[in-house]
Structure 1
């Protein structure tokens, strides 16, 4: 393929722009790196976009999601597919994908997450010479197991819930545990099959990539493709007299909503136990807010047009994430801006960071409150924040820079 222009077709489960959540960010990252290797085309499920594709996308189009009757029929015909796959399995969408493959004649087709594996099988039957890459993101079966373990876990529908037919939206919260158990089992089966269906699988976490190779052996090359850490200018930082404990993320995503509630409870503890202190402090949350949510101590900033400005000065990222898998892009934002981080083992998972050296580790509400109180009360603790943040950023840049990620995508594409 080196003597021709490499053509890449990406099939997404959501339109990537504007970027409002971590998964969109990772889709855009794959598209941008792919554009450095060849010609990129995009098909996306969902509603017509509010923001057009950028100039590096050669062509784009929308695919139809399944309605209630289509989902029911698909489930009857293919009962062993993950439940979420039926949202995307319908005749018009499959026909549109096949038409695009015939028209574009791509060398590589990238599929957004395991829920689209059924489309890869259809492509392979008609075009066995096309290289198939699964942009898997993370192990959904592992995520669902954590949701089952965590009794306060959020909605199974996740960010797709608003796109489900009304009757299904009604059932999801009422049958959550049953649906989670079923979907965990079906998704585990789908992930195992993917190892033999695809030529390569991209995963955001090196840890989960290793687990995938062990748990789901097959012909696919499993490649760690984590979020890029940009070398942004280090902001002016001063924690001597004040500190802002900040959270960033879409509150409509269940793990973020849960983390915000935990943060607010910890903030109440901090407020009750601060006593006399010369250090000013506050708790803030940036990102898409959750409708009707009310917090006692966390100030909701909503969408911030300039994240660099929001994270400058005296910001400490607080991410008390208790569920989810893969790499958390809010931690990447902090590393890019050299902002100190307080998070859980789940929040730091897959980044190769060391507790105490690169971030402050907390296990829950009480731990978080104590960590914040220690920073507020101790000039020595505040004095070490910038050094800790710089060490974490330097660690991240060793494995998540442009050169390494471009090389990994080149390998996944078989170039």
Structure 2
């Protein structure tokens, strides 16, 4: 782990610990209890990221509707065999050395490079056997990478694609500002060969965007149910394919209201892992454009950065107004020390869990439009939104000078989280998705 914290906790700690099963409360009108196989292409019990919060929401929603959930985690990591009251079955993805053969085969079959990392007959056969052994009724697939393995189970499938990889990879911000284009996969590449792998991946990013687009379209047409985290992206995929696509974001529970009006006026929180291109680009925008704008106005700020950062990134932002905290043990407590959350994202996809985490404690949000995409916040009412450094500086000054306004905007955002994005709505959407998948399968046969 990087940063000053030594916890396995992530920056998205807004729900009970991963070891706690969800309380199974009865839901009126729910369908027949079913056995669900959640197919995850990650270490589901590891450090909690925004994507894992989405999958937690799926499990909690399905459990609440009386379904039994088993998890298959395709990961190189060892770990607990239980998560949220579910049994966890671990499958190893292909070894690094075997990818030289798997990647060309996957490309010849029309797959994208992301899928090649989780391809191979042995892997799909293991998923099929586990589904048969567990007598699973429905498969829930974790992103585009899980499609081939999910389909191999031969069961009704709900595919939650998270965000549109095709749009993310088409972004110049993602391409030019991402310090690690390989993401978590880069940690598996030997250090000496990593620069070459990074350069090759960057050169192929445009090709991968087009391949991902084709695969997203195919999955939307072939899976029984397809969902994305962002409702806006769901609409775009629906228009591309002529199929209904659901928008099911992550569920973040309301916590205890903080008191931003009592925090130091110039203390801001920036939340996000810095190996992800849009996050590091946003922090550089803060350093190169926003902070100089505030300096010109005689405003001094302190920016507390929570999230994974490499040694090089820590050195890059050393000095000045930045305090790199890394992961923290108690996210709400750390965020409560600030007057506001800053989310100056310039490009990206999906819904920003960092914003929901701020709303969950009533911390006011200052953001670009992209920083709050997919969240029904109103500028000047439940958040302050601007698309330039000057506009963001105006918003920061406003909350610095008017602590009661920071309190009111924070509480308005808290109310949005509890109504428009209430966890009950998201849990019910997962229950409905499973019933729709089963119904679609019955009609198809």
Match of 1:206 in 2: 231
Partner SS state of residue 137, structure 1? coil
Q: 1:171 to 1:364 in 2, by over 3 A?
A: farther
Measure, in 2, the Cα distance between the counterparts of 1:265 and 1:108. 49
Partner SS state of residue 213, structure 1? helix
TM-superposed CA distance for 1:401, in Å, is 1.4
Match of 1:13 in 2: 41
Contact 1:64 1:92 in 2 (8 A): no
TM-superposed CA distance for 1:227, in Å, is 1.7
Contact 1:19 1:25 in 2 (8 A): no
Q: 1:165 to 1:8 in 2, by over 3 A?
A: farther
Pairing 1:184–2:209 present: yes
Partner SS state of residue 177, structure 2? coil
Q: Find 1:287's aligned residue among 299, 307, 310.
A: 307
TM-superposed CA distance for 1:334, in Å, is 0.8
Equivalent residue runs for 1:176-325 within 5 Å: 176-218=201-243, 221-239=244-262, 242-266=265-289, 268-269=291-292, 272-275=295-298, 281-293=301-313, 294=315, 295=317, 296-325=320-349
Partner SS state of residue 191, structure 1? helix
Equivalent residue runs for 1:394-409 within 5 Å: 394-409=415-430
Structure 1 gaps of 5+ residues are none
Q: 1:412 to 1:81 in 2, by over 3 A?
A: same
Q: Find 1:53's aligned residue among 82, 93, 111.
A: 82
Measure, in 2, the Cα distance between the counterparts of 1:153 and 1:289. 13
Q: So what's the TM-score if we normalise by structure 1? A: 0.88
Q: How many equivalent residue pairs?
A: 400
Residues 189-234 of structure 1, C-alpha deviations (whole Å, 9 max, x = no match): 000100122111121111111112111224xx52211121312121
Partner SS state of residue 62, structure 1? strand
Measure, in 1, the Cα distance between the counterparts of 2:141 and 2:263. 48
Q: Find 2:160's aligned residue among 125, 129, 135.
A: 135
Q: 1:336 to 1:84 in 2, by over 3 A?
A: same
Partner SS state of residue 140, structure 2? strand
TM-superposed CA distance for 1:307, in Å, is 1.4
Residues 306-345 of structure 1, C-alpha deviations (whole Å, 9 max, x = no match): 1121122543000111222010000000111111011111
Contact 1:68 1:165 in 2 (8 A): no
Higher relative contact order (CA 8 A, sep 6+): 2
